[in-house]
Amino acid sequence: MSELRQRKGVKGSGSSAISKPTGSGSGDHAHKFEYEFGGPVGAFATMMALPLVLYFLYYGATKDYRFNFTNYEGLFDAFPKSIDEVWSLEAFAVVCGWFAFNVFLERILFAEKGKGVVLRDGSQLTYNLSGHLQFWVILFVLMFGKPVFNEKGNVEYFTHFNLAWLYDNYVKLATGAVLFSWILSIFLYSKSFAKGALLALGGDSGNPVYDFFIGRELNPRTGKTFDWKEFCELRPGLIGWMVLNIGCAMKQYELLGYVTYPMIFINLFQGIYVWDALYQERAILTTMDITTDGFGWMLCFGDLAWVPFSYSLQARYIVENDSSDQMSTAVLAGIFTLNFVGYYIFRSANSQKDAFRRDPNSEEVAHLKTITTKTGRKLLVSGWWGLARKINYTGDWLMGLAWCSCTGHGCIVTYFYSIYFFILLVHRAYRDNHACAHKYGDDWPRYKAHVPYVFVPGVI
């Protein structure tokens, strides 16, 4: 999940201009500013289009309509006819309450402390790493339900949450999450003008539309320890994705009296993925999201709306579109194997990289071959990272393909994730190649001679 970064949106290069940081606390000299996402026009278009994509993913894959490139008329008929179909104050209150509940847990739970990288102003932030514990606390709460008190104020029994309600109000919750992400983005943009705010170089163009989209402030905080970006990166949206999946399973059980194998698989696969991200929370402190990018609309929307409501698409579709009859035992075994082969590649490669970053002389990675660059940094040219420069992306994509395969072959929209993610990873690899060529200079072609492949050894 530079892991998670891959899940937020595609960045595209565009025109360039000379720009001076304008915000307080930047403290930098003039630098060459390169617009991404097509600059201000592209940023505006993206902010208008992506919420509509969420609605397309919902209305293009339902029990009554499945988009397949030849039935456009049905899509227009499937779209809502009134605001009441996509909005309710109750759903928005649930979104706000969910966010507040996650903030509450982040504040009260015991947390390991993690140090971020040294920033360009010489500071080094400390983070509360309680995401993994928060994951299990929320599962515990969902398992045991809410307490019912007697007249004396004592807990008499626990009653389960009606998680099937999440499925019944799915599109209204999505609308609430989109609105909430806009409200938070406006707050963060306003906050970035406070005196002493350290601005992200990529979000200090001077154009308000573009800076609002990308994010002006690098690490917005309330108080000394609540970090908005790190918190939103892993907790409300990522755990919310898992909770939505569970709600879909509960709805299917309500309708059928049992849960199908595809539904079990999608909850298992994606539940492990969410758990892994939170278990490895310390690793995100060195990712581009945390160290380089500002926290603006792009990450707010991605974290709080896009991740939970586009990644839960497969579970939502399976509720009333049972794909079990399309899947023999051999097919199910193939999907299961594909997911965990992908997970093994993804986790092994990332663990090897993280171990090397922590201590390149440790017994775990000391045997690996490296080349030393003029910057003093060493680059791995053996092990997983000698096979391909983005081998972890390959494992990530294989998992995504397994998730989509759980929906069978009845609707192309349910494969949106694997298609979108493939494009995203290719563009991310291009972007990383451009950044590393600038950073390492003549050493980068030398490194690529050692590791010529990007995704699949011997192929590409």
Q: In this structure, is residue 377 part of a structural domain? A: yes
Task: Evaluate whether residue 304 is within a structural domain.
Answer: yes
DSSP assignment of 358-409: H-TTSTTTTTS-EEE-TTS-EEE-STHHHH-TTHHHHHHHHHHHHHHHTTTT
For 457, other C-beta atoms within 10 Å of its C-beta total 14
The single-letter DSSP state of residue 343 is H
Total number of domains constituting the chain: 2
- 290 and 337 both lie in a single domain: no
Domain C-terminal end among 322, 354, 373: 322
pLDDT reading at 269 higher than 80: yes
Are 136 and 68 part of one and the same domain?
Answer: yes
Torsion of CA 280, 283, 289, 290, to 10 degrees: 110
Cβ neighbours, 10 Å, residue 33: 19
Is the residue at 448 inside a domain?
A: yes
The arithmetic mean of pLDDT across residues 305-334, rounded, is: 94
Residue 76 sits in the same domain as residue 131: yes
Same domain, 206 and 349: no
C-alpha distances (whole Å) from 439 to each of 98, 110, 224, 430, 436 are: 41, 38, 32, 14, 5
Looking at the structure, tell me whether residues 318 and 343 fall in a common domain. no
276 & 425 share domain: no
**Boundaries of domain holding 449:** 327-460
Residue 345 and residue 342: Cα distance in Å, rounded? 5
Q: Is residue 45 part of a domain?
A: yes
- Calculate the alpha carbon distances from 393 to 6, 13, 343 in Å: 9, 21, 11
Eight-state DSSP code of residue 61: B
Long-range contact pairs involving 353-361 (C-beta distance under 8 Å, separation at least 24): 353/380, 353/384, 353/385, 353/392, 354/280, 354/283, 356/380, 357/286
Q: Are 246 and 347 in the same domain?
A: no
Residue pair 227/107 in contact (Cβ under 8 Å)? The answer is no
Question: Which domain-ending residue is among 269, 292, 322?
Answer: 322
8: pLDDT strictly greater than 70: no
pLDDT at residue 1 tops 50: no
- pLDDT value of position 86: 96
pLDDT 10s digits, 383-423: 999 999 999 999 999 999 999 999 998 899 999 999 988 99
Say if residues 174 and 58 touch (Cβ distance below 8 Å): yes
Residues 454 and 396 in one domain: yes
For residue 9, pLDDT beyond 50: no
Average pLDDT over residues 241-264: 97
Does the pLDDT of residue 431 top 70, yes or no? Answer: yes
For the record, the structure tokens of 144 come out as 């045991």
Helix axes 261-279, 391-405, angle to 10 degrees: 150
Average pLDDT over residues 119-139: 94
- Location of structure tokens 């003549």: 442
How far apart are the C-alpha atoms of 56 and 35, rounded to whole Å?
28
In-domain check, residue 2: no
pLDDT at 31 over 80: no
Average pLDDT of the chain? 90
pLDDT in tens, 167-184: 999 999 999 999 999 999
User: How does pLDDT run across 219-234, given as a tens digit for each residue?
Assistant: 999 999 999 999 999 9
Sorted by sequence, the CB contacts under 8 Å of residue 460 that are 6+ apart come out as 453, 454
When pLDDT is averaged across residues 111-135 and rounded to a whole number, the result is 93
- What's the token pair of residue 290? 């945390």
- Nearest CA-CA partner of 385 in 355, 352, 357, 359: 352
Q: Are 199 and 21 in contact (CB under 8 A)?
A: yes
